[in-house]
Amino acid sequence: MPQLCVNIDHVASLRQARYRDSGLSATPAGLGGDFGEPDLIRAMHEAELGGADGITIHLREDRRHVTDRDASLLRQLARVRVNLEMGATDEMAAIACALRPHTAMIVPEGRREVTTEGGLDVAGNLEALTGTVAGLKLAGCVVSAFIDADLHQVEAARKAGFHVCEIHTGPYAAHFLRAGGDFLDDRLATELERVAIAGGAIRAAGMRFNAGHALNYTNVGPIASMPGIAELHIGHAIVSRAIYVGLREAVRDMKQILVRHEDDPFETPD
């Protein structure tokens, strides 16, 4: 059964929607954004209590949701693994080396995107990324690349020294929605196969195979049932469900699907 790493960025997004420019701050750093509600650290603990195996946050260049203070407190207080998503910049590499998250996951980053769109081009930035990976390794981090299901990128990630490749499941999720989950749809079946082939190549290269992006309670089963998949990173679907049932229960519901997926990868919650 793959482990579940819960991304809580959107809890911070909700907080920042109200407090980022609220004027509550007494310092230039923005105490309103750091101390407003919902509280990110409480969200982390609720996710832990629901059974999360890890917590993911993305500290973006523009600090649009998660802040430096959030990242520092979360790393200090988390009882499970902390996965820090980050751009491959000198600033973020320095922050990660200081925080020493359990996993540093390098992702592409655009100022206008709502969430990460597309995988990292490791092949096109091999030299620079090799240096970044080496520095993060020296700090004691497991280093992960968020990539598309592309064998060229898998091989480049191996050359760069990454420990982990997380396959971008957004294309699979989009076709699952369009096809209503019917795997007689050729494009949906193809996208699932692409993830599986990339996963096999990752494992053959001696790296850990993770997956994430746009996975939810309906589409996660076929991904979770893939041979050798180690970890799933899911955020938006869980935080969305938490509006109705609470974060602890929303995480628990997802964990139950992962427990049951070996019997029926297409099973969904009641």
User: Tens-digit pLDDT profile for the chain (270 aa)?
Assistant: 999 999 999 999 999 988 876 544 333 344 455 678 899 999 999 999 999 999 999 999 999 999 999 999 999 999 999 999 999 999 999 999 999 999 999 999 865 555 556 899 999 999 999 999 999 999 999 999 999 999 999 999 999 999 999 999 999 999 999 999 999 999 999 999 999 999 999 999 999 999 999 999 999 999 999 999 999 999 999 999 999 999 999 999 999 999 987 655 444 444
In a domain, 140, yes or no: yes
Q: Are 84 and 101 in contact (CB under 8 A)?
A: yes
C-alpha–C-alpha distance, residues 65 and 57, integer Å: 9
In a domain, 151, yes or no: yes
C-alpha–C-alpha distance, residues 145 and 153, integer Å: 10
Q: Is 152 a catalytic residue?
A: no
Q: Is 85 a catalytic residue?
A: yes
Q: Is 48 a catalytic residue?
A: no
* Residue type, position 225, single letter: S
C-alpha–C-alpha distance, residues 11 and 45, integer Å: 13
- For residue 84, give its domain range: 3-260
In a domain, 268, yes or no: no
pLDDT of 116 reads 58
Token output for 176: 């699952």
User: Global pTM?
Assistant: 0.91
C-alpha–C-alpha distance, residues 139 and 124, integer Å: 25
Active-site pick, 48, 85, 166, 231: 85
Buried b (16+ CB within 10 A) or exposed e, 185-207: eeebeebbebbbebbbbbbebeb
In a domain, 203, yes or no: yes
How many domains does one find in the chain?
1
In a domain, 266, yes or no: no
Active-site pick, 163, 168, 175, 213: 213
C-alpha–C-alpha distance, residues 142 and 216, integer Å: 26
In a domain, 192, yes or no: yes
C-alpha–C-alpha distance, residues 128 and 97, integer Å: 17
- CATH number where 61 lies: 3.20.20.70
Element (H, E) at 132: helix 126-138
On the 0-12 / 13-18 / 19+ scale of CB atoms within 10 A, 102 is middle
In a domain, 269, yes or no: no
C-alpha–C-alpha distance, residues 44 and 235, integer Å: 12
